[in-house]
Amino acid sequence: MKVGIIGCGAIANIITTSIVPEDNGIEIAYFFDKDIERAENLASLAGGVAALNFDEMVDNVDLVLECASPDSVRHFAPKVLAKGRDMIVMSIGAFMDFDFYTEIEEIAKQNGAKIHLPSGAIVGLDGIRAVAKFGLEEVSLVTRKSPKSLGRDINEIEVLFEGKASQAVKEFPLNINVAATISLACQRDIDVKIIVDPNVDRNVHEITARGDFGEFKTTTMNYPCAANPKTSMLAALSAIRLLKSFNETICVGM
């Protein structure tokens, strides 16, 4: 499987350095970034090509992996899917715009392409998907991050946001993809609280779900990526697992 990457930052670096040395049937062949130097650096590390021409990259791969920004999804996803290429999208907040969601779902359907949204920085999505249509009454997310991760200069614990996921992704587009992922998994605008906490050094996500099935709570305490403290290591690891699953015969826990 030939892959092209959009966005050569923290997530792309972790994925590339993990996938490239292994014999796993995945070739990360092209690297695209608005900062060409970043694309060149990662391409030379991986023995791939820094793409100057986006269309040429899409023509020469089976799948495009987006790890850039919600704006890049809005701009590039329609072009990729119109060419019938599958996508993995990390900037999942872009899908909280319902018009955009339906537009690109339609383009993908018409061209036989699939859009994969990895579980990212949280655990528990398998359970949320399973109960979504079976009496799920309440889902909420509490995210707790350090001031550095949230890009704030604050010395005390403070609730930065309390409201719906659709609003959270507008106010924190690069920080709260998990809220979008949970909302899309259960097809409802979930309740979100974002807390900045100078006492934590991890990105912590607590999910609570209640309904006819009972109740579950998950807590994920992620180490931030050194290259980008907004991003958790687990987000990159979930994309690596997803990429590898395409070549597996038996897929567990998907």
Ligand X SMILES: NC(=O)c1ccc[n+]([C@@H]2O[C@H](COP(=O)([O-])OP(=O)(O)OC[C@H]3O[C@@H](n4cnc5c(N)ncnc54)[C@H](O)[C@@H]3O)[C@@H](O)[C@H]2O)c1
Q: Does residue 120 belong to the site contacting ligand X (CB under 6 A)?
A: yes
Residue 119, SS3? Answer: coil
Q: Does residue 58 belong to the site contacting ligand X (CB under 6 A)?
A: no
Per residue in 199-236, is it b (16+ CB within 10 Å) or e — as a string? ebebbbbbbbbbbeeeeeeeebebebbeeebbbbbbbb
Joined together, the tokens standing for residue 218 give 């998950």
Among 195, 228, 241, 245, binds ligand X (CB under 6 A): 228
Question: What is the Cα–Cα distance from 221 to 146, expressed in whole angstroms?
Answer: 12
Q: Does residue 4 belong to the site contacting ligand X (CB under 6 A)?
A: no
Query: By CB under 6 A, how many residues form the interface with ligand X?
Result: 30
Q: Does residue 121 belong to the site contacting ligand X (CB under 6 A)?
A: yes
Joined together, the tokens standing for residue 47 give 């023995």
Q: Does residue 38 belong to the site contacting ligand X (CB under 6 A)?
A: yes
Residue 39 vs 107, nearer CB to ligand X: 39
* Exposure of 82 in the CB half-sphere (CA atoms within 13 A): 7
Catalytic residue, from 205, 237, 238, 243: name it. 205
Q: What are the C-alpha distances in Å from 36 to residues 8, 39, 64, 224?
A: 9, 5, 18, 25
Least Å distance between CB 156 and ligand X? 26
Residue 90 vs 209, nearer CB to ligand X: 90
Residue 207: strand pairing partners: 141, 218
Least Å distance between CB 142 and ligand X? 16
Segment interacting with ligand X, rule: CB under 6 A, options 84-92, 100-108, 137-145, 192-200: 84-92
Does residue 116 carry a catalytic annotation?
Answer: no
Among 5, 11, 125, 190, binds ligand X (CB under 6 A): 11
Residue 29 vs 112, nearer CB to ligand X: 29
Helix (H) or strand (E) holding 224: none
From first CA to last CA, the distance across the chain in angstroms is 20
Among 5, 26, 49, 72, binds ligand X (CB under 6 A): 72
Closest CA to 221 of 210, 238, 233, 209: 233
Q: Does residue 9 belong to the site contacting ligand X (CB under 6 A)?
A: yes
Question: What is the Cα–Cα distance from 101 to 81, expressed in whole angstroms?
Answer: 13
Least Å distance between CB 71 and ligand X? 5
Q: Does residue 146 belong to the site contacting ligand X (CB under 6 A)?
A: no
Catalytic residues: 205
Binding residues vs ligand X (CB under 6 A): 6-12, 33-35, 38, 67-69, 71-72, 90-92, 120-121, 174, 177-178, 181, 227-228, 231-232, 235
